[in-house]
Amino acid sequence: MCEEKGALVVNMESSTSRYRILIVDDEPSLRRILGVTLTALGFDTELAGTGEQALSLLGTSQYDLVLLDVEMPGIGGIETCRRIRGLSRRPAVVMLTVSDSEEYEIRALAAGADDYIRQPCRVRDLVGRIRAVLGKRRSDEQSEESQ
């Protein structure tokens, strides 16, 4: 889990506009902590414990971003990311891992991940990276619409 020293203080001035985030991690306690934290910061969150469950949810619901663990049993995070990129509705993907292997990072980005975060990290860093990816995605969509 991402760590924060002292009290959690996040500037909510940067609106989350109720972005929908799907949190995918095989570790139940980490999944819950991420969900509670991001929900408290103004995001709508849904939780999945496997890549298979995430793909099923993505087939029936729309999300702005998928926060995806790299190492999971069954369909791992990198393969899940590849499959997400094949969907007609493609949310942003931010990969999370406790591994410091650069190979995972290269493979995740090659599979289409928008960002890659090593844990542990600070909550404000995680939220900042999520907002940056969502902001870039929104900017890209607006550019496409204006063309």
What are the residue ranges spanned by the domains of the chain? 20-146
Bigger pLDDT: 3 vs 105: 105
b/e string for 100-122 if b means 16 or more Cβ within 10 A?
eeeebbebbeebbbbbbbeeeee
| pLDDT tens per residue, range 77-101 | 999 999 999 998 899 999 999 888 8
Q: What CATH number labels 20-146?
A: 3.40.50.2300
30-59: average pLDDT: 96
Q: What is the model's pLDDT at position 5? A: 42
Query: pLDDT band at 144, cuts 50/70/90?
Result: low
Residue 68 has pLDDT above 90, yes or no: yes
For the full predicted model, state whether its pTM sits above 0.95.
no
